[in-house]
Structure 1
Amino acid sequence: MAKNVSRALSLLAAVALGALAAWVLLRPASPRLPDTAVVVEQMREVARLETLDVSLYKKVTFTPEPQATDALWKDVLLWASYTLQNPHGRAIVFADAHLGFDFQRFDARHLHAVGTRVDVLLPPLQVTVALRPGETEIIDSNLDSAQTAQLLEKARLAFEREVRQDRRLQEKARQSAERSLRGLLLTLGFREVRFVETLPVGSAG
């Protein structure tokens, strides 16, 4: 009887050891996460492709007594009234706005990884506006070439201020960047990606 019990216990022990060995051999390996510098560089590369482009146009009218209804464009009209003798004319200005995050300033201090979870602090959003002179039309104007260039630069700055104040466009740019960066980080081995406003004090890499 004792011999049978001993055999049964030995068999159970062998089965248990076999199961343990199989679990150790077959369990999913922990992902090998890349070096922080590699992560930063790949995030920069992805972010360069994630610039939101928006086409803009604006009809600008300047008269001896301009009546600006849009405060953002008031300085454009006032500039014309004070710079020119009997200013008059109309311009339809076209431009392209580009919204993207300044990843040139992105480094390990913008990441905080704990195991397979990573927190990301996005760098500041950049807005640039480029006029499309080939499509911009000056109508019935008494501006010379230098004055026209000044007026167009003021229009470009007004476009830029408008875009900077457009929360909808900023949120669209942010969502696009987060979507691409989250996909990259998940493929690199992270299992949870969070975009945060601040990182823990003293965190780096």
Structure 2
Amino acid sequence: MANLSRILGPLLGVAAGVLVAGWFMKPTPASLPDTASVVQQMREVARLETLQVSLYKKVTFTPEPEATDALWKDVVNWARHTLQNPHGRAIVFADAHLGFDFQRIGPSSLHVVGTKVQVVLPPVDVRVELRPGETEVIDSNLDSTQTAQLLEKAKVAFERDVRADSRLQQRARDSAERSLRVLLLTLGYREVLFVEKLPSTGTAG
């Protein structure tokens, strides 16, 4: 048994090496799809939902204290200048969806050289949906119309929060890159790079 192990050990190592080498030395596909075809397949994804996060914010719309969050000052200032003796507070819940609209991708978003492709993603698309069933407006002197206005301003403030959050933006981008890399590798490309700007020279395939 020991002799058999000494014989099989090197053979298995060689076989594994051959398999790995074979993977990296796979022949290049006879032809890669042209840029227009690649763009069309990317557009068929339509909108890639890459990240969803749940949000909530406590908002006090009395004259004091001042709002400490600059992105939410509009909400407090609106209450101060719209209402007489405004008072009350709200706990607003929302879902934020971050994704990419691939209908905005065109041939100018890709740069192909051989089996290498560089891609510029469109801007992250942020969409916020309030959760009115969970939102609470407490001890408030707002009527129904004013409450609706308050919630709409809160929605805008949430969108600003998300757009200003670099970590959420990066998480959404990382997710989109993983999905598109799988698609482009499936189409036959060997190297997929995501860049902020395409090179100014070279030919596009």
Using structure 1 for the length normalisation, give the TM-score.
Answer: 0.80
Amino acid at match of 2:49: E
1:45 corresponds to 2:41 = no
Whether the 8 Å CA contact 1:97–1:129 is kept in 2: the answer is yes
8 Å contact kept, 2:113–2:204: no
Q: How does 1:37-76 map to 2 (within 5 A)?
A: 37-46=36-45, 48-76=47-75
- Is contact 1:47-1:177 (8 Å) kept? no
Q: Following TM superposition, where does structure 1 have runs of at least 4 consecutive aligned residues deviating by more than 4 angstroms? A: 202-205
Q: How many residues align?
A: 179
Question: Is the contact between residue 49 and residue 97 of structure 2 (CA under 8 Å) also seen in structure 1?
Answer: no
Partner of 1:152: 151
Shift of 1:169: 0.3
3-state secondary structure, aligned to 1:95: strand
How many Å separate the matches in 1 of 2:169 and 2:43? Answer: 19
State the match for 2:33 in structure 1.
34
Q: Alpha-carbon deviation of 1:77?
A: 0.9
Rounded to whole Å, the distance in 2 between the matches of 1:42 and 1:91 is 45
Q: What RMSD, in angstroms, separates the aligned Cα atoms of the two structures? A: 1.8
* Distance verdict in 2 for CA 1:86–1:197, change over 3 Å: same
Give the 3-state SS of the residue equivalent to 2:44 in structure 1.
helix
* Contiguous gaps of at least 5 residues in structure 2: 1-25
Tell me which structure has the larger Cα radius of gyration. 1
Counterpart of 2:9 in structure 1 is none
What SS class does the counterpart of residue 119 from structure 1 fall into?
strand
What secondary structure does 2:80 align onto?
helix
* 2:101 aligned partner: 102
Aligned to 2:110: 111
Report the Cα offset of residue 125 of structure 1: 1.5
Task: Quote the offset at 1:204 in angstroms.
Answer: 4.6
Aligned to 1:171: 170
Specify whether residues 34 and 85 from structure 1 end up closer, same or farther in structure 2 by C-alpha distance, changes over 3 A only: same
The residue correspondences of 1:132-143 to structure 2 (distance < 5 A) are: 132-143=131-142
Q: 1:51 & 1:89 partners in 2: Cα distance? A: 36
Task: Provide closer, same or farther for how the CA distance between residues 85 and 39 of structure 1 changes in structure 2, counting only shifts above 3 A.
Answer: same
Moved more, 43-52 or 31-40: 43-52
Q: Which residue of 2 aligns with 1:87?
A: 86
CA distance in 1, matches of 2:108, 2:59: 45
Task: Give the superposition deviation at 1:195.
Answer: 0.8
The letter of the residue matching 1:129 is: V
